[in-house]
Chains A and B, each alone.
Chain A
Amino acid sequence: MERITLAHGDGGELAHQLIQQLFVAHFHHDAFVKFDAALLSIEKGKLAITTDSFVVKPLFFPGGNIGKLAVVGTVNDLAVSGAIPKAITCGFILEEGFPISDLKRIVQSMAEEAQKIGVAIVAGDTKVVERGAADGIYINTTGIGIVEEPLVPSFQEGDSVIISGSVGDHGITIFAARGELGLMTNLTSDCAALSPMISQATKASKQIRIMRDPTRGGLATALVEICEDFQLTIELSEDAIPIKREVEGACDLLGFDPLYLANEGKVIFIVAKEDEQKVLQAIRSREEGKEAAVIGTVRATEKGQLLLRTPLGTTRRLYRLTGLLLPRIC
């Protein structure tokens, strides 16, 4: 089996071959590689730029792999900011000995995903580190998009909170895929590009206040951040939050809270109450938004807290993920 060697990263012949045969061949960015930097032209509007690094384990999981994740993750960050994704760059850190066939699969799915979304992969970089200095492969992507009509986060009491589908699928899928717990599920990651769904939604309503993709830290952490950033009180209704039964079962077993599990293909929309149904229909018209639901309401525009109304009728305040799961019961 062909494997990555240190020479693949030294800028010499082997490196050249890797770039030409793998990256350029798949990403089709020959138009951009004549200079040390890619030159892009912008028509109008504002430039949006974001970056993210991907270190997922395992590299391949039901519903995706690290490459797909690296493209959709960055594209989604652009999309939820109201930008139309245009181009991304990618940096690879490879561990000496990494199978080239795996790299190929990863690169292929990056290219596929980029093409599907209509973004160009315009620049890249590869470094190889000694065996043991990294865990297989790390990918960094930076994305650029154009914002034509920026979102105006002017929240009002009564605004609706919508989630585009069930939460926690990615988190539990990854957990199960690691195989270390023996957790059996038929789940797949929700890993998907959100820009098509988002453009449907933004076409349907001009009153979308904000969008977020609840990745690391999950739905709860993403909403807590919105609440704090914009001084809102949002009340979620626990019953209304779509959670797959398998996710719920796994959470029950592991003692996890699905509201804190990562998602890679979900969007939170906060939208004016009157446009709630329009946006919901727009999202539901896409396959990845079939299970979209209204999950909460903006209760006040001055407090900065996220509340969860339980089926028992009690209300609990939610905080960001702490990473500390110690019982509080005495």
Chain B
Amino acid sequence: MAKAIKVTVRGRVQGVGFRPFVFQLAHRYRLAGTVQNNMDGVTIIAEGEEKQLQLFLHALIQEAPRLSRIDEWNVVAIPAQGWQQFSIIKSERKGTSSLVIPIDTAVCDDCLQEMNDPADFRYRYPFINCTQCGPRYTIIEQLPYDRPYTSMKTFPMCNRCQKEYENPLNRRHHAQPIACPTCGPSVMLIDRHGQTWKEEAIEKAQEFLMAGAIVAIKGLGGYHLACDATNETAVRQLRKRKQRPTRPLAIMAANLAVANQIGEINEKEAQLLTSPEAPIVIVKRKPFTLLAPSISPGLTTVGVMLPYTPLHHLLLDEQTLPLLVMTSANRSGMPILYEDAQAFSELNEIADYFLVHNRSIVHPLDDSVVQWQNGRLDFLRRARGFVPDPLFTTESVHALAALGGQQKNVFAFGRNQQLFLGPHIGDLQNIDVIHHFLREYEHLRTWLGIQPDAVAVDMHPNYETWNIVKEWDVSVIPVQHHHAHMVACMEDNGLKESCFGLILDGTGYGEDGNVWGFELLYGDASYYERLGHLLYTPLPGGEKCIKEPWRTAVGMLGYYFGEKGYEYALQRFPDKQYEIAILKNMIEKGINAPLAGTCGRLFDAVSAFLHVCLHPMYDGEAAIRLSEIIDEENVYEPYPFAIRENRLLEIDLADMWLAIIEDVSRNENPVQMAGRFHETVVAASVEMIRRAAKRHRSSERRIVLSGGSMHNRYVTKRLVEQLQAAAFTVYTHQKVPCSDGGLALGQLMIAAKRREREVCASEFQQK
């Protein structure tokens, strides 16, 4: 007697070959029925022997395709309807809209093998893909994910492709971007004067790259600028044209073996590099490699990725072109370029050649950047391969949005119990970035089918997000910056109950109107209390301090030592005599000298004082360079410091500064001083936490670590060690960045709690 079941599956189950996989399983277990995509995920009706149905269900979970992820599944018995065979039926455009938007992934081994097989009809075809690899999010115009709703709609399939597409047993069954040389997109190389190469586009591009040319390459999520990474002249030329003097450039290595030649790559890092998500991985740079010296000046690390599109695989070559610079093409502070016309006009002065194709990019997406830090994944930028994969929560976050921070902006939405972090948007200062924000926000919002009834916005009154939300008719929930960081880390680890949070960050707006960023908090998504922080010191010139970190040092020295402090500053910055005199007056008169206690600025000040970096040319350069010179394996001796026990605990670094000043006068090795400074930050934080825990009413021993400075590998490693030694359970980020790229997650969770409370309050009033 045949039994029938209805299975609904949710998660990453569309656009990953899930239906063909189900179809094959049904065959294997001799079942009849249907499988269908709908707005809710995938629905399966299966009829057959009970035993077979059991095996089918087991295999469904165990053998799911490499890209799929089952988050939720549900089986109900239904009356058998007497299906004669098993079939895939057309998508149904209805349901409660909890569709998963598939992510872009690196080309798979099967496709690569075909591409390299001279007998295959897709031999050397740069757009080969299958259900397990290729473009997704970046080519989708609307959901559900189906070819007519992607930028592949302009390429009618040829008979061969059509057959594969329709054959349920083919690995390209319903591979929406399926294509071949006959019917699909093609590449073209163009020079500045409009000369074009089609057939030999890739060979010519290789030739020009080898000769030192700069080539703009249209990729998956946007344009890259490429040049031979072993050619110092070419790299310098690129830096000059792009006006990017020092910012490290990402490298694409022909394969893992080549990557191993330039970087110390451990097993985990190798796994990351070769994963379907194929991010840029920051690794320790080997000394004496082929790499041009100006790839990452002043740094001991390098960002590497492996080829992730078939085109990349065809372009790079272990022998002739093993290492390319692949930096995203955008003018400083602007979104990545992805539209052909704009790319041509904006890169005209930068690129000698354009290697392009005619498959349009609908949604720009930057490369993700990660590092393997102390046994866990540390996201510096969560983008391609991860966006817009949802995170899951048990809180009710439906119809909430969070607008993120000012820089490294990422927004977020809640739908049912899913959390969607949007793509990396960038620095909201530029109008183009704001437009980019609005466009991507609106797209994702529409795809998710939600209309937010409340929007979380950072408290900083000058963040652009306030100007964005001002135009909307929606209730606004202001969220403190470091509270958001803390809750982001709690949610990242599934923590719900109150705990401690140490937030080491750049700058964020504090509730007392000062600049916060070295915070010890206690609380959860519904509230927080501030227990301690770094003593406030003035930032003479405000935002100027970020470009000129010596100012921050002057502010700190002046604050701690008065007249004497300005003298120390003058000894260290002798060409700034006039400036220091004026800064002193600004500080004393309180003119444009906001008070700040932040870890980021502290690193800046020490970096400038040690002359490690006086003129940062990119975000965080002063701090990054300071951390790069130290030996991460070493444990340094902390400098002396004090904790002032007032209503709040305050870290007082006067003694550390005195010791540094003395070390400098004795010509101590900067590496040693930088290392001891790092350890001081750790020791002072741990001491502050220990005392706070002693003073605190709870006996809580859990602590989350967040904020942009937690990217610092030494600081985070030592904090974890020391806090664990002090019997704390320590949580760090894993799925979202600790920097402002993860802020929206915390904002969203806080907004959820606040909305809940308001709903309760209004219900209470009604009673």
Contact = CB atoms under 8 A, between A and B. Distances in A.
B431 A317 contact: yes
B581 interface: yes
Interface stretch (A193-201, A211-219, A320-328): A320-328
Counting chain B CB atoms within 10 Å of each CB, which of A183, A253, A313, A317 scores highest?
A253
A12 interface: no
Interface in B546-605: 546, 578-579, 581-582, 585-586, 589, 591-592, 594, 596, 600
B592 A254 contact: yes
A181 B543 contact: no
Contact of A312 (B333, B407, B464, B596): B333
B708 A330 contact: yes
Contacts of A255: 540-545, 592
A236 interface: no
A11 B169 CA distance: 106
A180 B546 contact: no
Contact of B539 (A316, A322, A327): A327
Contacts of B545: 255, 327
Interface string B14-50: 0000000000000000000000000000000000000
Contact of A330 (B461, B505, B581, B589): B505
A227 to B, nearest CB: 13
Contact of A327 (B332, B431, B432, B515): B515
B579 A253 contact: yes
B544 A330 contact: no
Contact of A181 (B408, B509, B542, B591): B591
Contact of B541 (A253, A315, A324): A253
A132 interface: no
A316 B541 contact: no
Given A314-B432, A317-B434, A319-B467, A181 B462 contact: no
A269 B740 CA distance: 42
Nearest to A315: B431
Given A182-B585, A253-B541, A314-B331, A328 B431 contact: no
Contact of A322 (B331, B430, B462, B544): B462
Q: Which residue, of A181, A314, A329, has the highest number of chain B Cβ atoms within 10 A?
A: A329
Nearest to A317: B431
A256 B333 CA distance: 21
A324 B459 CA distance: 13
A326 B544 contact: no
Contacts of B506: 329-330
Interface SS of B by simple majority: mixed
Nearest to B243: A312
A307 interface: yes
B758 interface: no
Interface in A125-179: none
Nearest to B707: A330
A326 B589 contact: no
Nearest to A325: B542
Given A256-B592, A330-B406, A324 B546 contact: no
Contacts, number: 108
B586 A254 contact: yes
Nearest to A252: B544
B218 to A, nearest CB: 21
A314 B594 contact: no
Q: Determine which residue in B430, B467, B585 has the highest number of CB atoms from chain A within 10 A of its CB, and name it.
A: B430
Interface string B429-452: 111101000000000000000000
A256 B544 CA distance: 9
Contacts of A315: 430-432
B238 to A, nearest CB: 17
A314 B542 contact: no
A330 B431 contact: no
Contacts of A307: 431
A314 B430 contact: yes
B618 to A, nearest CB: 12
B585 A180 contact: yes
B591 A254 contact: yes
Contacts of A254: 541, 582, 586, 591-592
Nearest to B428: A328
B463 interface: yes
A312 B406 CA distance: 20
Nearest to B581: A182
A313 B331 contact: yes
B507 A329 contact: yes
Contacts of A326: 460, 462, 507, 509, 515, 542, 594
A273 to B, nearest CB: 23
Interface in A242-258: 252-256
A328 B406 contact: yes
B543 A317 contact: no
A184 B582 CA distance: 10
Contact of B508 (A181, A253, A325, A330): A330
Contacts of A184: 578
A219 to B, nearest CB: 18
Contacts of B332: 312, 314
A327 B543 contact: yes
B391 interface: no
Nearest to B463: A328
B631 interface: no
Interface string B452-494: 0000000011111001000000000000010000000000000
A328 B331 contact: no
Contacts of B430: 314-316
Nearest to A327: B543
Interface in A276-330: 307, 312-317, 319, 322, 324-330
B585 A316 contact: no
Contact of B431 (A183, A316, A322): A316
A325 B594 contact: yes
B740 A324 contact: no
Contacts of B461: 322, 324
B546 A327 contact: yes
A317 B460 CA distance: 17
Nearest to A175: B591
A319 B346 CA distance: 27
A314 B334 contact: yes
Nearest to A255: B541
Contacts of A181: 582, 585-586, 589, 591
Nearest to A313: B331
Nearest to B333: A314
Contacts of A319: 467
Contacts of B540: 255
A181 B586 CA distance: 6
A177 to B, nearest CB: 14
A252 B582 CA distance: 12
A184 B577 CA distance: 13
B408 A330 contact: yes
Contact of B407 (A314, A317, A328): A328
A326 B619 CA distance: 17
Given A255-B541, A322-B462, A328-B407, A182 B434 contact: no
A315 B408 CA distance: 18
B405 interface: yes
B518 to A, nearest CB: 13
Nearest to B544: A255
B456 to A, nearest CB: 16
27 contacts: A181-B586, A181-B591, A182-B582, A184-B578, A254-B541, A255-B541, A255-B544, A307-B431, A312-B243, A313-B331, A313-B346, A314-B430, A314-B431, A314-B432, A315-B430, A316-B429, A316-B431, A317-B431, A317-B467, A322-B461, A322-B462, A324-B461, A324-B462, A327-B545, A329-B546, A329-B619, A330-B407
Given A307-B431, A330-B407, 16 more contacts: A181-B589, A182-B582, A254-B592, A255-B543, A314-B432, A317-B431, A322-B461, A325-B542, A325-B543, A327-B545, A327-B594, A327-B596, A329-B406, A329-B546, A330-B405, A330-B505
Pairs of residues from A and B, 10 with the lowest C-beta to C-beta distance, nearest first:
A255-B541, A330-B506, A255-B544, A327-B543, A315-B431, A325-B542, A181-B585, A328-B406, A255-B542, A314-B430
